[in-house]
Amino acid sequence: MEKPFAITLDVGSSLANKTGSWRTYRPRYGDRLPPCNNACPAGENIQGWLYHAESGDYEQAWRVLTQDNPMPAVMGRVCYHPCESKCNRGELDQSVGINSVERFLGDQAIKLGWKFAPPATASGKRVLVVGAGPSGLSAAYHLARLGHQVTIHEAGPLAGGMMRFGIPKYRLPRDVLEAEVQRILDLGVTLELNTKVENIEASMQAGGFDAAFLAVGAHIAKRAYIPAGGAAKLLDAMQVLRGMEDEEKPMLGRRVVVYGGGNTALDVARTAKRLGATDAIIVYRRTREKMPAHDFEVEEALQEGILIKWLSTIKNMSDEGTLTVERMELDATGFPQPTGEFETLEADSLVLALGQDVDLSLLNGVPGLEVEGGVVQVGPNMMTGRPGIFAGGDMVPSERTVTVGIGHGKKAARNIDAWLRGEVYTPAPKHELATFEKLNTWYYEDAPKTVQPTLDLIRRQSSFDEVVGGLNETNALFEARRCLSCGNCFECDNCYGVCPDNAVIKLGPGMRFEFNFDYCKGCGICSAECPCGAITMVPENA
């Protein structure tokens, strides 16, 4: 139509007015580091895989997860999930059940037979991995995916290391473990069992290996000097737990006393209960608060009827199995001090669960190695003092958990890969942490954590059936969707919606958003209203 001058205007003409020139601050999308990812010893991109689980794409979630950790079914059972302790949702209601979702994904993968994609190219390099525990398997997996040819030498008869010989079945069913080990082997990893490496350099030379990763673990039980009669039945925790994998189960008797306060002590006591002990008693020299074992394990043990004698040390054991126990008292620094008050306990067997040492014999004669406190010293790249020999897991200084071991394996593999190419592996810089204050939690609906089913008590006391059940698809989805996606855009469209100037461009599913700086006035609403804290306002000239 022929429009009257000036008073009637064509639609859309305001696009000529570039209001972006008003801006003094500009929004910037930047993924912040979610606290769960930051806390994961295996370096999992937890928020990243939950993102896919939220949409019900479990396979994709599993694939993202296994970029860092090849054993989610195991991990979903045995990891002490430090991620959940750091989860921002904990400040809102309860932390996300990351571990239970991980287990669901792992189980789903086993059930549906998901496989790892084989490496695109072969490097032609050969790497020897010593030890088929969590660390070794993890390293083997990552090295294989990077195209290297990997051979594992395992001293024991079965793969799994502490996952098999240290963790009871009721916590980790063996079929789960075997399925996840097999999937790694299916990548082309060679596993040689009952092959103890006596001398690492000799083995490397003999096999023509370009590099080695040592992860022999810590299997030698620490002993405490307890005067005991010759007939007294005195065992160590490793013997008991390893013995559980044999045809002949250990004979512990009806009254079993376990000495120690770590998770292993609990595992032994709970195992004893399942083997038919009427009394399974843990003797520990300090209090529950000071106990290194995880509280949920203590709780489960107590539910199952395990007794714990706090503030007690064992002085001796008679032939008849009478234990003399001294009551302790914590001093001002929280250290237990003897009181001189004694009592007795009757036991058919005493199991010492006082920690393990590493068998370092394979390193004899290797130049440049540094051993301190019974463990091998490694650099930040996991390499020992001997170039080309890397080490990880329980044999290097660290917290001794499966998850840490798996993390070591990944880290070592990446460094080995770089080293083989004559390069130095530099991890991507870490983003700024997405702390709780960075979130706008108004947008999250209240939703308490899903409680995982547990086995009934009678069966827990009498069988080695798995205690903690998995999530089903419905509640796994629920749990995944409780994720706040801290610091990482999850396409909630808030920025796109709240911009008064339509200056946020939505790029479509999975492609996130862009700012239209022609019109963005820099008001900052997008940043203030981003639920997950993924938008930062920065000075315009920065």
Partner 1 sequence: MLKQCEGSHAVAATVALCRPEVICAYPISPQTHIVEGLSEMVRDGTLQHCEFINVESEFAAMSVAIGASAAGARSYTATASQGLLFMAEAVWNASGLGLPIVMTLANRSIGAPINIWNDHTDAMSMRDAGWLQLFAENNQEAADLHIQAFRLAEELSLPIMVCMDGFILTHAYEGVDIPTQEQVDAYLPPYEPRQVLDPREPVSIGAMVGPEAFTEVRYLAHAKQMQALDRIPQLAAEFRQQFGRDSGGLIRTYRLEDAQTVVVALGSVLGTIKDTIDDLREAGHKIGVLGITSFRPFPTAAIGDAVSHVERVVVVEKCFAVGVGGIVSRDVRTAMREHPHPIYAVVAGLGGRAITKASLRQLFLSAMADELEALTFLDLDHQAVNRELERERLTRRSGPIAENLLRDLGVVAARVG
Partner 2 sequence: MTATVIKFYQTGTHTVGNRLLDPSQRSVQADMRRTNSLNSGHRACQGCGEALGARYAIDAAMQACDNQLIAANATGCLEVFSTPYPETSWQIPWIHSLFGNTAAVATGIAAALRVKGRSEVRVVAQGGDGGTTDIGFGCLSGMFERNDDVLYICYDNEAYMNTGVQRSSATPGAARTATTPAVGPAPGNVFGQGKSLPLIAMAHEIPYVATAIVSELRDLEAKVRRAMEIRGARYIHVFVPCPLGWGTRSDQTIAIARLAKETGIFPVIEAEHGELTAVSKIRKQRPVEDYLKPQRRFAHLFSPAVNTAAIAQIQALADRNIRRFGLVDAAAAAGAE
Interface with partner 2 (CB under 8 A):
6-7, 9-19, 22, 54-55, 442-447, 478, 481-485, 490-494, 496-503, 506, 508-510, 516, 518-519, 521-525, 527-529, 531, 537
* Bridge partners, 504 (sequence order): 515
Are 523 and 503 in contact, with CB atoms under 8 Å apart?
no
* Inter-axis angle of helices 473-481 and 46-54, nearest 10: 120
The Cα–Cα gap between 380 and 411 comes to 9
497 binds, among partner 2, partner 1, none (CB under 5 to 8 A by kind): partner 2
Nearer to partner 2, 81 or 521 (CB): 521
2 binds, among partner 1, partner 2, none (CB under 5 to 8 A by kind): partner 1
Tokens of 223: 């002993």
Q: How far is CA 198 from CA 154, 201, 361, in A?
A: 11, 9, 7
Q: Where are the alpha helices (DSSP H) in 220-261?
A: 237-243
Q: How far is CA 242 from CA 85, 160, 162, in A?
A: 31, 12, 9
* Bridge partners, 308 (sequence order): 282
1 binds, among partner 2, partner 1, none (CB under 5 to 8 A by kind): partner 1
* Bridge partners, 127 (sequence order): 150, 211
Q: How far is the CB of 540 from partner 1 (least distance, A)?
A: 29
Q: How far is the CB of 11 from partner 2 (least distance, A)?
A: 5
Q: Which of 1, 120, 332, 428 binds partner 1 (CB under 8 A)?
A: 1
Nearer to partner 2, 101 or 293 (CB): 101
Nearer to partner 1, 13 or 121 (CB): 13
Nearer to partner 2, 234 or 537 (CB): 537
Q: How far is the CB of 444 from partner 2 (least distance, A)?
A: 6
Are 499 and 526 in contact, with CB atoms under 8 Å apart?
yes
Nearer to partner 1, 3 or 115 (CB): 3
Q: How far is the CB of 3 from partner 1 (least distance, A)?
A: 6
Residues 10-69 that bind partner 1 (CB under 8 A): 10-11
Burial code of 440-449, b = ≥16 C-beta within 10 A, e = fewer?
eeeebeeeeb
Sole residue written with tokens 């020992």: 384
Q: How far is the CB of 48 from partner 2 (least distance, A)?
A: 15
Nearer to partner 1, 6 or 542 (CB): 6
Nearer to partner 1, 8 or 474 (CB): 8
Q: How far is the CB of 1 from partner 1 (least distance, A)?
A: 6
* Bridge partners, 383 (sequence order): 390
Strands, E, within 50-194: which ranges?
126-130, 149-153, 190-192
Interacting residues toward partner 1 by CB under 8 A: 1-11
